[in-house]
């Protein structure tokens, strides 16, 4: 039977059959043909504590029998209130309002609208946005505005206004990025600077140190430019701390978070009187989703969970170390619980043809790894076992062996 589903980021002309998953448990996915797959990327960065975590499942089941939906304009419910209150306890200080959204892309759009709306309501016509090279912030039109331009958004070029792009602060070239940011803030008086703190996701798992982010703060503060921290991928322990901004000791004006809980936007006290509302705001916040988010937040109150994040980071560090001296790989790197390395090949970049070949190779090894071209990254759920990581990295070595023997495809 032909499926009517159009899957995202999937070449249907090349891939006719989708892998059907029937069950998830911990770090594993189970398919309709009785295969067990290790989820090495947390199902696209979403799963933190593991699939079908018992505490989360119980919260959803309980809420389903009490209240499953209600309009959110003029009404509220306990799960949403509890999630908002608990979030404000764990985010950086001075972030004191929560706005619920429904996706990563939507969260970025709302954050941009809030920043632009703030300056409009203040009587200043600041409309320029500063972004970082190679950034990715989503796929809806507003989110594409502040992401890297390329084949995926070329068709929408006429809809995208110009932004100011600063270089990525690669090792040894950090000052060039800082100088570009200072120049943009001084000469263009932008409304906001949006950044993925410490680590770019879809842009290639590119990593930069906390001191650079801290220096950026001093630059944008001097020009009264708003900082939007896109922590959709970096939040909830991925970089080693609960939120990446913590490592730089900074508090953004607006932070977008997701994945580890339900989507939210935060606003600092400095601009809390300027919360923006429009017809685009989300009209319904599902109580069941909020209950799941609350259960997730409760998990973070357990010190054992924090210790588990540190343990996964240590295991990842140990697992990636041998690759630093393997000539088949380059730019071997780690931030917190996330590792990445580039396969040493002439076929490079996000659109490298080797990417789909690697993905198929790993699938046949019962590993869910989705390389970004020749960049392979591992971002496991925190319940991952050392034996699972051994299997993941053995699969990565096997991929390099197969490439050298021209057997990857």
Query: Are the C-beta atoms of 251 and 245 separated by less than 8 Å?
Result: yes
- Same structural domain, 239 and 328: no
Query: Are the C-beta atoms of 318 and 106 separated by less than 8 Å?
Result: no
Pairing label, strands 226-231, 254-257: parallel
- Same structural domain, 111 and 242: yes
Q: Does pLDDT of 272 surpass 60?
A: no
- For the CA atoms of 207, 396, 150, 264, what is the dihedral angle to 10 degrees? -60
- Same structural domain, 296 and 164: yes
- Tens-place pLDDT, residues 284-319: 468 988 898 899 999 999 999 999 999 999 999 999
Residue 407's pLDDT band (cuts 50, 70, 90):
low
Nearest CA to 263 out of 243, 293, 237 is that of 293
In a domain, 113, yes or no: yes
In a domain, 3, yes or no: no
Last residue of a domain, one of 272, 300, 328: 300
Measured distance CA(217)–CA(184) in Å, rounded: 14
Average pLDDT in the 131-150 region? 85
Residue 398's pLDDT band (cuts 50, 70, 90):
very high
- Tens-place pLDDT, residues 377-393: 999 999 999 999 999 99
- Same structural domain, 323 and 184: no
- Same structural domain, 216 and 162: yes
Measured distance CA(202)–CA(205) in Å, rounded: 6
How many domains are contained in the chain?
2
Question: What integer pLDDT is reported at residue 405 of this predicted model?
Answer: 66
Residues in the chain: 409
What is the domain extent for residue 27? 21-53+303-404
Cα-Cα-Cα-Cα dihedral sign, residues 37, 48, 132, 331: negative
Percent of the chain at pLDDT > 90 equals 67
Which residue do the tokens 């448990």 mark? 25
- Tens-place pLDDT, residues 342-373: 999 988 888 888 999 999 999 999 999 999 99
Query: Are the C-beta atoms of 353 and 378 separated by less than 8 Å?
Result: no
Query: Which CATH number characterizes residue 351's domain?
Result: 3.90.1150.10
- Tens-place pLDDT, residues 51-90: 999 999 999 999 999 998 888 888 999 999 999 999 989 8
Question: What integer pLDDT is reported at residue 208 of this predicted model?
Answer: 98
In a domain, 6, yes or no: no
- Same structural domain, 94 and 127: yes
Indicate the average pLDDT of the chain. Answer: 88
For residue 16, give every residue at least 6 positions away whose Cβ sits within 8 Å of its Cβ, in sequence order, or none. Answer: none
For residue 200, give every residue at least 6 positions away whose Cβ sits within 8 Å of its Cβ, in sequence order, or none. Answer: 132, 134, 135, 136, 168, 206, 207
Residue 149's pLDDT band (cuts 50, 70, 90):
confident
Measured distance CA(161)–CA(208) in Å, rounded: 27
- Same structural domain, 113 and 172: yes
* Phi/psi of residue 145, nearest 5 degrees: -55, -35
- Same structural domain, 200 and 317: no
Last residue of a domain, one of 273, 300, 327: 300
- Same structural domain, 163 and 260: yes
pTM over the 0.95 mark: no
Angle made by CA atoms 173, 175, 178, in degrees to the nearest 5: 120
Last residue of a domain, one of 266, 300, 334: 300
């Amino acid at each position: 039977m032909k499926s009517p589903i159009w899957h995202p980021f999937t070449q249907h002309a090349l891939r006719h059959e989708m892998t059907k998953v029937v069950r998830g448990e911990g770090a594993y996915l189970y398919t309709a043909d009785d295969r067990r797959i290790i989820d090495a990327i947390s199902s696209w960065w979403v799963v933190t504590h593991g699939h079908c975590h018992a505490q989360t499942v119980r919260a959803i089941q309980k809420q389903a029998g009490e209240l499953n939906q209600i309009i959110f304009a003029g009404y509220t419910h306990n799960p949403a209130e509890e999630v908002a209150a608990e979030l404000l306890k764990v985010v950086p200080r001075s972030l004191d309002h929560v706005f619920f959204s429904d996706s990563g892309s939507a969260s970025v759009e709302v954050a941009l609208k809030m920043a632009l709306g703030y300056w409009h309501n203040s009587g200043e016509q600041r409309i320029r946005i500063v972004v970082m090279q190679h950034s990715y912030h989503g796929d809806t039109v507003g989110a594409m505005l502040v992401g890297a331009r390329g084949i995926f958004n070329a068709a929408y070029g006429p809809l995208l206004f110009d932004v100011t792009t600063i270089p990525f602060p690669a090792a040894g070239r950090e000052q060039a990025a800082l100088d570009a940011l200072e120049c943009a803030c001084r000469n263009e008086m932008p409304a906001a600077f949006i950044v993925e703190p410490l680590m770019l996701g879809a842009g290639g798992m590119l990593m930069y140190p906390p001191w650079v982010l801290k220096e950026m703060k001093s630059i944008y503060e001097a020009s009264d430019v708003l900082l939007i921290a896109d922590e959709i991928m970096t939040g909830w322990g991925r970089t080693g701390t609960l939120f990446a901004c913590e490592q730089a000791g900074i508090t953004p004006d607006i932070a977008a978070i997701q994945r580890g809980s339900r989507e939210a936007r935060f606003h600092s006290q400095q601009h809390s009187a300027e919360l923006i509302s429009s017809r685009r705001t989300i009209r319904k916040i599902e109580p069941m989703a909020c209950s799941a988010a609350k259960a997730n937040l409760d998990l973070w109150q357990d010190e054992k969970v924090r210790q588990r994040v540190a343990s996964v980071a240590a295991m990842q560090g140990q697992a990636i170390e041998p690759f630093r001296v393997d000539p088949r790989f380059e730019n071997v790197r780690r931030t917190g619980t996330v590792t990445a390395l580039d396969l040493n090949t002439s076929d490079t970049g996000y659109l490298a043809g080797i990417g789909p070949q690697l993905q198929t190779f790993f699938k046949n090894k019962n590993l869910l790894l989705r390389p970004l071209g020749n960049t392979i990254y591992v971002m496991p759920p925190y319940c991952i076992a050392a034996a699972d990581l051994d299997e993941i990295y053995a699969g990565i070595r096997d991929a390099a062996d197969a490439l050298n023997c021209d057997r990857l495809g």
